[in-house]
């Protein structure tokens, strides 16, 4: 059986299989990316910008086709898939517009020479290891800024998204990007380790599990390669108070169930002060219970299957572990009867530290609600996690909420919104959620040579 295959998670049907690279294919990809870098780095910035702008246009032109592909491969409802396509297009357009100014020389006010400037220059071929949950968006936030810088990209996508991976490579070609500036590679984990170690690869970016990030970071560290890691999260949604509980609950349900709950920055822990807890839980339970699963290719579907049967099995095991140790199931709690990797929208209460659901990331449509006395207790519970990706605080008093948000040990804190992703906002976490930042000007600063050029006439 091929490592890379399209399996429809709504039915379990294997649609198509793809062969992985052999040793000669790995060598060819490495050499092509390296030779491509030697040429692409000298391509005028204006030309790089023009190509990325055209990439954005093609994403918009082919939005229906692109959306259908990921709906089929990983189960994202097609309406959400179209939103991901447009976000990806916006990222390429953002770097096409702003990339040239981000690469401008920085003049330093340091005496003793005629001039001291810092230049941002490319460093070489980069390896991207991408996940299945946002097949286009994750690639865009890595490839967009780095192609703009002048680096080249070797892209290893998730084995469950091969058709989508090939579509992205095709779009880069159609936009005029040289073939050796972006190469899709169907590589094994062992081949990826060898590629990280190869001197022609200058850096690696991974978005994925903590386990995968640890393996990549270990190999990169041994070979002195720069890494950017965007890993798991157990993000909080803290409700201090609410002037409109219906609107707050709607936001919470969307923050937990969007993308089938399969987002690193989804609202997985819902922490509510005791005065508002009962009302919040009653309404959120009803909202979860009313959310029905369906065919991801149906425009009316709001919750599709999980990405695979294995992922669904793991999530249900986490729920069953919690229930066996005393957790309360407010709604849901298991798989949906019938074919496909469907899991019921599930809400748990009374989760305690000895349960897997307390410390592990719940990557699917399962939320955990906690009652706390006040903001101080909410903050302490929020920070009692190995993860630190993002979190949100909700209150009619925005300044009060901001004080709590500033105390969160996370890379991204929001007040009265959750998980906002825009091309100009930095994305990344702390603790076991990863290292480095993507998007905005910060995304162009990770894999560059910040080169000092100091000139004295003497």
Residues with catalytic roles: 230, 264
Taking phi first (over 0 means left), then psi (-120 to 50 degrees means alpha), and beta for anything else, what does residue 187 get?
Answer: beta
Residue 75 CB neighbours (<10 A): 32
The whole-angstrom separation of Cα 442 and Cα 353 is 36
Work out whether the CA dihedral 69, 71, 76, 77 comes out positive or negative. positive
The whole-angstrom separation of Cα 289 and Cα 283 is 10
Q: How far is CA 126 from CA 162, 227, 328, 447, in A?
A: 20, 10, 47, 8
In this structure, the strands spanning 366-372 and 267-273 are parallel
The token duo for 205 is 């970016």
Phi, psi angle pair for 24, to nearest 5°? -65, -35
Residue 451 CB neighbours (<10 A): 11
The whole-angstrom separation of Cα 294 and Cα 76 is 11
Task: Give the dihedral of Cα atoms 59, 150, 190, 229; nearest 10 deg.
Answer: -80
In this structure, the strands spanning 267-273 and 235-239 are parallel
The whole-angstrom separation of Cα 173 and Cα 179 is 6
Question: Edge-to-edge, what's the strand order for the sheet holding 115-122?
Answer: 106-107, 115-122, 448-455
The token duo for 95 is 């770097």
The whole-angstrom separation of Cα 439 and Cα 458 is 42
The whole-angstrom separation of Cα 47 and Cα 53 is 10
In this structure, the strands spanning 387-388 and 430-431 are antiparallel
């Amino acid at each position: 059986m091929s490592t890379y295959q399209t399996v429809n998670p709504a039915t379990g049907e294997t649609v198509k299989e793809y062969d992985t690279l052999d040793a000669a294919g790995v060598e060819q990809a490495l050499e092509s990316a390296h030779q491509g870098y030697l040429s692409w780095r000298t391509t005028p910035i204006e030309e790089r910008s023009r190509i990325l702008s055209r990439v954005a246009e093609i994403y918009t032109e082919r939005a229906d086709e692109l959306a259908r592909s990921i709906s089929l491969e990983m189960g994202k409802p097609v309406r959400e898939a179209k939103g991901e396509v447009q976000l990806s297009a916006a990222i390429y357009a953002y770097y096409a517009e702003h990339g040239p100014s981000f690469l401008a020389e920085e003049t330093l006010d340091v005496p003793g020479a005629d001039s001291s400037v810092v230049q941002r220059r490319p460093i070489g071929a980069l390896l991207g290891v991408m996940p299945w949950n946002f097949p286009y968006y994750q690639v865009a936030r890595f490839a967009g800024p780095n192609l703009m810088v002048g680096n080249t990209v070797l892209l290893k996508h998730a084995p469950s998204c091969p058709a989508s991976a090939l579509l992205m490579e095709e779009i880069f070609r159609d936009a005029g990007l040289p073939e050796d500036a972006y190469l899709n590679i169907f590589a094994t984990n062992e081949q990826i380790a060898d590629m990280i170690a190869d001197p022609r690869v200058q850096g690696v970016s991974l978005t994925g599990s903590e386990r995968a990030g640890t393996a990549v970071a270990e190999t990169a560290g041994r070979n002195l390669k720069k890494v950017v890691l965007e890993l798991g999260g157990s993000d909080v949604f803290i409700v201090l108070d609410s002037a409109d509980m219906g609107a707050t609950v709607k936001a919470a349900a969307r923050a937990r169930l969007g993308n089938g709950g399969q987002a690193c920055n989804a609202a997985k822990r819902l922490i509510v002060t005791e005065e508002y807890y009962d009302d919040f839980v009653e309404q959120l339970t009803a909202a979860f219970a009313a959310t029905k699963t369906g065919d991801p290719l149906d425009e009316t579907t709001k919750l599709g299957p999980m990405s695979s049967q294995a992922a669904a099995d793991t999530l249900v095991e986490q729920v069953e572990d919690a229930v066996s140790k005393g957790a309360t199931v407010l709604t849901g709690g298991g798989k949906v009867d019938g074919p496909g990797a469907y899991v019921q929208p599930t809400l748990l209460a009374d989760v305690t530290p000895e349960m897997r659901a307390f410390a592990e990331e719940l990557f699917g449509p399962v939320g955990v609600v906690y009652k706390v006395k006040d903001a101080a207790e909410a903050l302490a519970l929020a920070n009692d996690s190995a993860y630190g990706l993002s979190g949100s605080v909700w209150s009619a008093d925005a300044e009060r909420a901001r004080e709590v948000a500033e105390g969160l040990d996370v890379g991204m804190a929001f007040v009265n919104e959750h998980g906002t992703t825009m091309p100009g906002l930095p994305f990344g976490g702390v603790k076991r959620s990863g290292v480095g930042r993507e998007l905005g000007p910060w995304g162009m600063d990770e894999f560059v040579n910040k080169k000092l050029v100091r000139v004295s006439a003497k």
